């Protein structure tokens, strides 16, 4: 049974008119302004993403913004569905909302005359929550503005008995970008304006000038970001050991526990083994049946596990380039993690290893570049190319333009390593290609084709 005192505790602005939400003045994620703007739109908002990426902080900032704009305090309702509690039933959510309406608003859902802003945090812990949310949304005639967060997309995209199609906007909140990492940790830096790989010939001089004055600083800071800087709280934890434990236990570990609990996975250790096996295969082509054989589980089981992990935002797939999107989904694919901190933490990498063993970091940097390209140019526009033994790491499409990108972080590379990308540029009649390097910034003619070499740490500024 839910008590009114619990609602009051979770919504202190009801009782104190000058209540200060501490998150109000914290640095904001890039997505904040988009969410704030859409608070005036009648559709619900879903904020989706990994644990600890800042979903709850954004909610508190949105609440602070509403209060500052003059919205009545009791018209703003927040409820966190706690991780430590058991998965709750739809009746629990129904009781929470009913108590808010009857005891706080003293109204029924059908006779509201003002917009209510209802923030439901970590909603995935309510079974079949869509049924209740849809009911209140429809009966209120859109007078209730739902803002939801969750860490399992399968539970937040209408894949239950009741669909929210046409009633909701989904917003994915990824791990911190490099520029967000700098902003949130209040690290002073000079921004790089108008950095677009498709406009590289026009801005390359400016990029070179920026590298001369800021490149070394960006490089040094980037190492922390790569190893353990993709979560807002990481830097506050002090030692590398604390950060390592935080990422492995409080983030990745809790995500796996969520999956085990929500999807009712019986063999938890087997499931975790799949996670670690995939982490060690990032940036590689893969077949689930081969991984299943190595671990000793069935193909059906590993396919289920992998679907859970994708829906929990731990892994993503990149497909081989094909003009037909339908056929693309049936052919060769690579696996990437949404957060390279997971791989670094699992392998106990430290910042010094980036310089000492760059060959090891080739796959990690490739994964990092994938995540950057996905955010910059949108996921459907990215693929990889392979023909026989020849491969190009990324093919990016943008407004009918094609851009091939290779990642080469190893110490010893020569022109023969660029033969494939140069042949591709020639055959497709493309103006240039890009090679992501450890530290080289240059424009070169290789096999009579133009290649731009860009250090990975500058690519972080895209």
CATH number (domain holding residue 47): 3.40.50.300
Q: Is residue 185 part of a domain?
A: no
Q: Is residue 43 part of a domain?
A: yes
End-to-end Cα distance, the chain? 50
Q: Is residue 189 part of a domain?
A: no
Q: Are residues 242 and 154 in the same domain?
A: no
**Cα distances (angstroms) measured from residue 208 to each of 35, 171, 203:** 35, 35, 9
pLDDT digits (tens, 9 = 90+) for 206-262: 999 999 999 999 999 999 999 999 999 999 999 999 999 999 999 999 999 989 988
Q: Are residues 245 and 156 in the same domain?
A: no
Q: Are residues 96 and 209 in the same domain?
A: no
**Cα distances (angstroms) measured from residue 315 to each of 400, 409, 459:** 28, 23, 22
Q: Is residue 449 part of a domain?
A: yes
Q: Are residues 148 and 293 in the same domain?
A: no
Q: How many domains does the chain have?
A: 2
Distance CA(65)–CA(425), nearest Å, equals 49
Q: Is residue 328 part of a domain?
A: yes
Q: Are residues 271 and 407 in the same domain?
A: yes
Q: Is residue 290 part of a domain?
A: yes
Q: At 433, which helix (H) or strand (E)?
A: strand 433-437
Q: Are residues 59 and 123 in the same domain?
A: yes
Residue partners of 271: CB distance under 8 A and separation at least 6: 256, 259, 260, 265, 305
Q: Is residue 182 part of a domain?
A: no
Q: Are residues 369 and 285 in the same domain?
A: yes
- Residue range of the domain that includes 8: 4-173
pTM, 2 dp: 0.94
Q: Are residues 149 and 215 in the same domain?
A: no
Q: Are residues 154 and 246 in the same domain?
A: no
Q: Are residues 418 and 350 in the same domain?
A: yes
Q: Are residues 363 and 264 in the same domain?
A: yes
Q: Are residues 22 and 106 in the same domain?
A: yes
Q: Is residue 184 part of a domain?
A: no
Walk along the chain (462 residues) and give the pLDDT tens digit of each residue.
Answer: 789 999 999 999 999 999 999 999 999 999 999 999 999 999 999 999 999 999 999 999 999 999 999 999 999 999 999 766 656 889 999 999 999 999 999 999 999 999 999 999 999 888 889 999 999 999 999 999 999 999 876 555 444 545 788 899 999 999 999 999 999 999 999 999 889 999 999 999 999 999 999 999 999 999 999 999 999 999 999 999 999 999 999 999 999 998 998 889 999 999 999 999 999 999 999 999 999 999 999 999 999 999 999 999 999 999 999 766 555 555 789 999 999 999 999 999 999 999 888 888 999 999 999 999 999 999 889 999 999 999 999 999 998 899 999 999 987 888 999 999 999 999 999 999 999 999 999 999 999 999 999 999 999 999
Tokens 């140069």 appear where? 422
Residue partners of 441: CB distance under 8 A and separation at least 6: 207, 208, 211, 215, 453, 454, 455, 458
């Amino acid at each position: 049974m839910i008590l009114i005192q619990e609602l009051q505790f979770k919504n202190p602005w009801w009782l104190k008119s000058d209540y200060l939400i501490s998150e109000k003045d914290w640095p904001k994620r890039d997505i904040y302004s988009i969410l704030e703007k859409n608070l005036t739109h009648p559709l619900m908002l879903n904020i989706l993403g990994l644990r600890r990426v800042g979903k709850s902080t954004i909610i508190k900032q949105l609440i602070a913004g509403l209060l500052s704009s003059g919205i009545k305090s009791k018209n703003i309702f927040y409820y966190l569905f706690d991780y430590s509690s058991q998965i709750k039933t739809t009746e629990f959510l129904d009781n929470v909302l009913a108590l808010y309406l009857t005891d706080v608003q003293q109204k029924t859902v059908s006779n509201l005359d003002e917009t209510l802003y209802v923030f439901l945090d970590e909603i995935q812990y309510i079974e079949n929550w869509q049924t209740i949310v849809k009911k209140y949304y429809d009966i209120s005639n859109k007078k209730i503005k739902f803002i939801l967060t969750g860490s399992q997309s399968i539970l937040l995209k209408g894949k239950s008995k009741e669909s929210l199609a046409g009633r909701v906007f989904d917003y994915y909140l990824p791990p911190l970008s490099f520029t967000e990492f700098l902003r949130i940790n209040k690290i002073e830096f000079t921004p790089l304006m108008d950095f677009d790989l498709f406009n590289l010939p026009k801005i390359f001089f400016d990029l070179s000038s920026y590298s001369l004055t800021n490149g070394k600083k960006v490089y040094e800071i980037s190492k922390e970001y790569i190893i353990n800087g993709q979560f807002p709280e990481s830097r506050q934890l002090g030692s590398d050991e604390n950060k390592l434990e935080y990422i492995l236990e409080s983030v990745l570990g809790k995500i796996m526990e969520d999956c085990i609990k929500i999807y009712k996975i019986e063999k938890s250790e087997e499931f975790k083994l799949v996670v670690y096996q995939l982490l060690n295969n990032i940036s590689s082509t893969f077949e689930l049946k081969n991984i299943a054989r190595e671990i000793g589980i069935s193909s059906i089981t590993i396919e289920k596990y992998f679907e859970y992990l994708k829906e929990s935002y731990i892994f993503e797939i990149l497909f081989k380039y094909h003009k037909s999107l339908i056929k693309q989904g049936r052919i060769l694919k690579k696996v990437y993690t949404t957060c390279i901190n997971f791989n670094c933490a699992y392998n106990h990498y430290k910042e010094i290893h980036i310089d000492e063993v760059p060959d090891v970091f080739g796959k990690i940097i490739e994964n990092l570049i994938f995540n950057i390209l996905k955010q910059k140019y949108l996921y459907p526009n990215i693929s990889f190319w392979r023909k026989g033994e020849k491969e190009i790491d990324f093919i990016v499409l943008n407004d009918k333009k094609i851009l091939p990108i290779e990642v080469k972080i190893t110490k010893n590379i020569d022109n023969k390593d660029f033969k494939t990308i140069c042949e591709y540029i020639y055959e497709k009649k493309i103006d240039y290609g890009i090679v992501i390097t450890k530290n080289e910034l240059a424009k070169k003619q290789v096999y009579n084709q133009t290649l731009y070499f860009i250090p990975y740490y500058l690519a972080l500024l895209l």
